[in-house]
């Protein structure tokens, strides 16, 4: 019986994929994860000759998209773009447990990128450095607004950690995704945000946002002139993100292995590496 099951799994992997594969991104278009997954979907479509699509399902701090995939048929045709907020943090920041269990409901495929986070402000803000931002916030306690993609996620908690370290009081304005939060930041409706550098890189380059610092343990190669928050006097404020790919538990191991191998092929391509690394991400494949 075991031999028959193994043979069936191998045959499924040989035939995979024979229809559209869906990658669920539990955030709005334009987020760092969305950018990475759209490029990955395009390249897998080219390799397989079978369409791979991105399905954005934002909401409830990424729990809507995660729950959808946790309950999906485990056949390799519905995958999930996983992030720290979704897979490691939600279960600790909400009184009501998420409708999924990260360890029970998902089979890991691979880590795709490591995301640098950055402290960015609206360009009209009279602060051109971290020290200037802190001074301004202390002069207006509780008045400076910061945006995030929702309550209790990495964007939100990163600013709370920075605010505690800097001894400033800032007011949180949650949004229904990182794209509307970024739009509000560019429009001056909120003053600051700590978010994935990949999602705001083009806005920084165009001058629609100002980057004051990155939040990694060392400077981001894409932004060598931006100091880290640690260099700016806050050594305990180190924030890194990642984006990975998972499948529903029960997905045949041979299909998971094929996905991992083929994604590895994609990530070695020079055009993929340049497209993902330049905006503030480093490629990973494990």
Instruction: Please check the confidence at residue 98 and state whether its pLDDT lies above 90.
Output: yes
Q: What is the CATH number of domain 19-114+241-283?
A: 3.40.190.150
Contacts of 28 (CB under 8 A, 6+ apart): 34, 56, 58, 149, 176, 177, 178, 179, 180
Residue-wise pLDDT for 109-130, tens only, equals: 999 988 889 999 999 999 999 9
Instruction: Please check the confidence at residue 286 and state whether its pLDDT lies above 50.
Output: no
Q: Which pLDDT score is estimated for 115?
A: 83
Residue-wise pLDDT for 231-273, tens only, equals: 999 999 999 888 999 999 999 999 999 999 999 999 888 888 8
Neighbours of 243 (CB within 10 A): 27
Please give the Cα distance from 41 to 227 (Å, whole number): 33
Residue-wise pLDDT for 180-233, tens only, equals: 999 999 999 999 999 988 889 899 999 999 999 999 999 888 888 999 999 999
Burial level of 151, CB count in 10 A (0-12/13-18/19+)? middle
Q: Domain map of the chain by residue range?
A: 19-114+241-283, 116-239
> In CATH, what is the architecture of 116-239?
3-Layer(aba) Sandwich (3.40)
Is there a shared CATH topology between the 19-114+241-283 domain and the 116-239 domain?
yes
Alpha carbon distances (Å) from 123 to 92, 126, 212, 282 = 34, 8, 11, 27
Instruction: Please check the confidence at residue 284 and state whether its pLDDT lies above 70.
Output: no
């Amino acid at each position: 019986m075991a031999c028959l099951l193994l043979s069936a799994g191998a045959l499924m992997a040989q035939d995979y994929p024979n229809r559209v594969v869906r990658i669920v991104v539990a955030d709005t278009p334009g987020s760092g994860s969305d950018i990475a997954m759209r490029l990955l979907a395009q390249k897998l479509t080219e390799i397989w000759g079978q369409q791979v699509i991105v399905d954005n399902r934002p909401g409830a701090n990424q729990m809507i998209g995660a729950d959808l995939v946790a309950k999906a048929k485990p056949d390799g045709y519905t995958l999930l773009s996983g992030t720290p907020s979704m897979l490691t943090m939600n279960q600790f920041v909400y009184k009501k447990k998420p409708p999924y269990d990260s360890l029970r409901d998902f089979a890991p495929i691979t880590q795709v990128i490591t995301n640098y986070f950055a402290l960015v402000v609206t360009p009209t803000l009279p602060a051109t450095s971290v020290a200037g931002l802190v001074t301004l916030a202390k002069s207006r306690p509780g008045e400076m607004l910061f945006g995030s993609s929702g309550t209790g996620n990495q964007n939100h908690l990163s600013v709370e950690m920075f605010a505690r370290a800097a001894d400033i009081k800032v007011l949180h304005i949650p949004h229904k995704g990182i794209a509307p939060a970024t739009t509000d930041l560019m429009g001056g409706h909120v003053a600051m945000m700590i978010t994935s550098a990949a999602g705001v890189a083009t806005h920084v380059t165009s001058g629609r946002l100002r980057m004051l610092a990155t939040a990694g343990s060392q400077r981001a190669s894409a932004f060598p002139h931006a100091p880290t928050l640690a260099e700016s006097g806050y050594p305990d404020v180190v924030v890194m993100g990642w984006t990975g790919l998972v499948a529903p538990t029960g997905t045949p191991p041979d299909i998971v292995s094929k996905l991992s191998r083929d994604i590895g092929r994609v990530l070695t391509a020079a055009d993929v590496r340049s497209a993902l690394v330049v905006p503030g991400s480093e490629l990973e494949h494990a």
